[in-house]
Structure 1
């Protein structure tokens, strides 16, 4: 196995030879073997052990074993205890997911603090197959069938081509010792059920199961690349980005052979789960929306508008602020600077000039409401703000996120970053000019 592992590293990860590595070690068979392989090849590797405190004294014994192993092999080691159950309860996660989030978060902290180039884990071919079958039972898209990635940003899994049998044979040949996790024998968890009850039957049907599975993974990964190429091609035609909002052209989307499949591929990284509701937006009336844990997708006439949740104002938030006469700057909810100037300057979209003597304080910063009127500069008469938004082709999100600067009587001074109201604008009689800049 050492020869095969060396060849695998030389071909796929030659950059590891000169890198500073952090390897995760549980004390189990897989991580002990990976530690031995890396040390035999003289890699610069440090160890990191998580004590999740899930198995009482056994967890502490695992930690002691990892420390003893590091001392014997002269590897630097980092250890950390976690209250995994409390974290799981607080964040409404399963124990396994909680442990995963805790360990990977800590590994990244260590990597950043100590300048490790890569984080190595000891996942192997059997883990890959188990994950595939777990995803199959739960339902998944194509990405759930393409296996554990060998490299994911700074995380590398160099044992993925090797089976559990190969790893065990190497450990036995080299007289290695490791810790057995008693919970691995329990069928309480779905992974263990698959490992102990399903895989033996599949391997009995096909003794070359892992080899066949590897070929299947390669085919699926190649298919995934074709899908990604097509999605990139379609994205350039369907999507456009404006001020942090991604716009999906509905007409172009619905002209595709399978709009639902394309929507899934285009939106899968934005944490949506109610895919039927997402697809139904294509035919919904304007204003309908779907929210994920991180984003909102809203129907606006001919487009679907995607934005981060923090950028939308559908939820109840404070939307009324007072600004005193002597204020020179505010930073919340938006950043405005108030400055007296001696003469008129070229006005930009992000700034207006007003007659300070015409202002009635305190000024008010607020969201728009029905009944608001604007006296736009460069126009005669007044216009309903809703009509102004329509004429200027504001999207629903742009209307929701628009701020108005008003005087003490709630008369509009500025639709910020869009249009000034002429009632407070400078004129030939103005003596004190105030510049307001976004």
Structure 2
């Protein structure tokens, strides 16, 4: 197995050579074999062991064993002890999930602080089968059927190409010692039930089940790559950047068949889970929306608008007359001037004596109106926005500069007639929005 392992690294994982590797080692057979294979392959490595304190003296025995193994292999060992039960209780999760979270959080910290390049774990082909069956039993898309990735960011699993039988055969032939985890024999957990009851039956039904499974997963992975490339092409065509949000033509979406499958693929990266609601947006009234933890998908006439949720709640900001303005959402500059220069969308000139300081910068609200510069009479902002062909997201992001309750400037769009400079004006203020 050692030569096969070396060849696998040479051909498929050459980037591991010359890098500092952190090998996760529980003390069990799989991880101990991985430690021996990595060291005997001449790779630069250290061991990392987590003591979750769940099995009293047995957990401490695992820690002592890994420390002695590191000494035997002549490599560094890093050990971390956790209060796993307290973490699980605090986060209202299972012990298994708590251990997983703690383990990978610590591994990430060690990678960053100690200068390791990759985390190497001992997952093998049988682990992949178990993950496949767990995901299949719970209901999953094609991603769940792909199982455990061999390379995922800085985590590498070089033993996925080997069966557990191969791993154990190598351990016995090389007289490698390891620790047995008593929890692995219990059928309390779903993974153990699948490991002890389901997978052996599948292997019994078909002697080459594992090899066939690995071949099928390879085909699935290739299919997934093809599909992902197609979806990226579709998104490049449909997704139109528009002022910090993305606009998607509904008619173009509806022409994609099957529509529900395409909706899932193009929007899954944005955290949505209520896919029936997403589908219903295509025929919903304008203003309807679906929200994930990070994004909003909004129906606006013949388009869907995808935008990130604002991290800062909307609020009002005061702008004082003669003080530097801090923490404004816009870079506004107020300057006393003696004459009017050329105005533009980002610069206005106002009669300062008509303004009541502090000015207020706020978002628009239903019922707002102003007197558009150069026109007679007032106009509701909702009508002004419609004439400007602004979508819902743009309207929500629009800022208003106000004096008391009166709008001075629809920032970047139109000034208000009531505050304009006239022949009788004695003080002029120039207001500039530096975009």
Q: How many residues align?
A: 432
Q: CA deviation at 1:427?
A: 5.3
Residues 51, 81 of structure 2: 8 Å contact kept: yes
Greater CA deviation, 336-345 or 371-380? 336-345
The SS at the match of 1:310 is: coil
Query: 1:42-78 deviations in whole A, cap 9, x for unaligned?
Result: 2111222222333333333322322222222222222
Partner of 1:384: 380
Partner of 2:47: 47
Whole-Å separation in 2 of the counterparts to 1:348 and 1:30: 70
Whole-Å separation in 2 of the counterparts to 1:238 and 1:144: 27
Greater CA deviation, 150-159 or 113-122? 113-122
Greater CA deviation, 337-346 or 7-16? 337-346
- Pairing of 1:348-363 with structure 2 (within 5 A): 349-363=345-359
Q: CA deviation at 1:392?
A: 1.9
Q: CA deviation at 1:212?
A: 0.4
Greater CA deviation, 393-402 or 177-186? 393-402
Partner of 2:418: 423
Residue 412 of structure 1 pairs with residue 407 of structure 2: yes
Q: Per the alignment, do residues 402 and 212 of structure 1 end up closer, same or farther by CA in structure 2, a change over 3 Å counting? A: same
Q: CA deviation at 1:350?
A: 4.8
Q: CA deviation at 1:120?
A: 1.2
- Pairing of 1:275-354 with structure 2 (within 5 A): 275-310=275-310, 317=313, 319-332=315-328, 334-340=329-335, 342=337, 349-354=345-350
Whole-Å separation in 2 of the counterparts to 1:24 and 1:352: 63
Greater CA deviation, 352-361 or 176-185? 352-361
Whole-Å separation in 2 of the counterparts to 1:111 and 1:351: 51
Q: CA deviation at 1:118?
A: 1.6
- Pairing of 1:74-89 with structure 2 (within 5 A): 74-89=74-89
Q: Per the alignment, do residues 349 and 28 of structure 1 end up closer, same or farther by CA in structure 2, a change over 3 Å counting? A: farther
Q: Per the alignment, do residues 15 and 168 of structure 1 end up closer, same or farther by CA in structure 2, a change over 3 Å counting? A: same
- Pairing of 1:24-423 with structure 2 (within 5 A): 24-310=24-310, 317=313, 319-332=315-328, 334-340=329-335, 342=337, 349-408=345-404, 410-423=405-418
Residues 329, 335 of structure 1: 8 Å contact kept: no
Whole-Å separation in 2 of the counterparts to 1:419 and 1:87: 55
Whole-Å separation in 2 of the counterparts to 1:305 and 1:197: 49
Whole-Å separation in 2 of the counterparts to 1:344 and 1:59: 79
Query: 1:103-139 deviations in whole A, cap 9, x for unaligned?
Result: 2232222222222222211111011111000110011
Partner of 2:4: 4
Unaligned runs of 5+ in 2: none
Q: Scaled by the length of structure 1, what TM-score is found?
A: 0.91
Q: Scaled by the length of structure 2, what TM-score is found?
A: 0.92
The SS at the match of 1:365 is: strand
The SS at the match of 2:10 is: helix
Whole-Å separation in 1 of the counterparts to 2:417 and 2:383: 17
Query: 1:213-270 deviations in whole A, cap 9, x for unaligned?
Result: 0110011111112211221221122211223322222110111111110011111122
Q: CA deviation at 1:86?
A: 3.5
Q: CA deviation at 1:173?
A: 1.6
Query: 1:178-226 deviations in whole A, cap 9, x for unaligned?
Result: 2221111111111111001101110100111110001100111111122
Name the Cα RMSD after superposition. Answer: 2.3
Whole-Å separation in 2 of the counterparts to 1:359 and 1:413: 8
Greater CA deviation, 287-296 or 220-229? 287-296
Whole-Å separation in 2 of the counterparts to 1:24 and 1:420: 64
Q: Per the alignment, do residues 61 and 337 of structure 1 end up closer, same or farther by CA in structure 2, a change over 3 Å counting? A: farther
The SS at the match of 2:17 is: helix
The SS at the match of 2:79 is: strand
The SS at the match of 1:330 is: coil
Residues 132, 144 of structure 2: 8 Å contact kept: yes
